[in-house]
Chains A and B, each alone.
Chain A
Amino acid sequence: DTAVSQTPKYLVTQMGNDKSIKCEQNLGHDTMYWYKQDSKKFLKIMFSYNNKELIINETVPNRFSPKSPDKAHLNLHINSLELGDSAVYFCASSQGGFNQPQHFGDGTRLSIL
């Protein structure tokens, strides 16, 4: 059973398009995250939701909008895609608490043509 699953695994699209990445966790965790791994390989937090409430919102362009329909799902919608959005996006979840390890999905590789 996959604990944190992201779809799609690969996403190739053109500049200006709108796309969504879905994330689901079956661990019963109450907190979910989106990270971006850029070309320099740094993993950077973008958003975090706790029980469907936004609790972390880093300096991310407004074109990125997370949506959490329930605590097992956290989707990422991106409007007007730009070349600089090309990256690997990772979803993660944890059971609250700073000392609870986060469980990551396998990532979505987004390539903008």
Chain B
Amino acid sequence: DQQVKQNSPSLSVQEGRISILNCDYTNSMFDYFLWYKKYPAEGPTFLISISSIKDKNEDGRFTVFLNKSAKHLSLHIVPSQPGDSAVYFCAATRAGGTSYGKLTFGQGTILTVHP
């Protein structure tokens, strides 16, 4: 049973426009969420995160929104640049208990930004 889902396998956006990547989760125990970016033949790199006590976190062109009641988060990239073309993974974890930083990943969304 996949607890973190990214239902859009791919997204294509024009340079300069907004990219919105979505992620849904089913486990209500998750309280910390992260986005990773992955280029081909490389490992994922951390992009931005959000705690469940917040509903928004912003870092430059990247903003993550969290809707706890809907168990939904989204990553907004504004403005999108060709260099943003990559696979984006959503991940979730629990702050306490025995999670020990265990991340549960979605299956990724391929973002293509056209010049």
Contact = CB atoms under 8 A, between A and B. Distances in A.
A8 interface: no
Interface of A: 4, 31, 33, 40-45, 48, 50, 55-56, 90, 92, 94, 96-107
Contact of B46 (A31, A33, A102, A107): A102
Given A98-B93, A101-B49, A106 B42 contact: yes
A103 B51 CA distance: 19
12 contacts: A33-B101, A40-B107, A41-B107, A42-B107, A48-B100, A50-B100, A55-B100, A98-B32, A101-B49, A103-B45, A104-B45, A105-B43
Interface in B91-115: 93-96, 99-108
Given A55-B100, A56-B102, A43 B44 contact: yes
A43 B107 CA distance: 7
B21 to A, nearest CB: 15
Given A104-B45, A106-B41, A106-B43, A48 B89 contact: no
B101 A41 contact: no
B32 to A, nearest CB: 6
B2 interface: yes
B43 A90 contact: yes
A100 B49 CA distance: 10
Interface in B6-48: 32, 34, 36, 41-46
Nearest to A45: B102
A45 B42 contact: no
Contacts of A107: 41-43
A44 B102 CA distance: 10
Contacts of A44: 105
B103 to A, nearest CB: 7
Given A103-B45, A106-B43, 5 more contacts: A42-B105, A42-B106, A90-B43, A98-B101, A103-B46
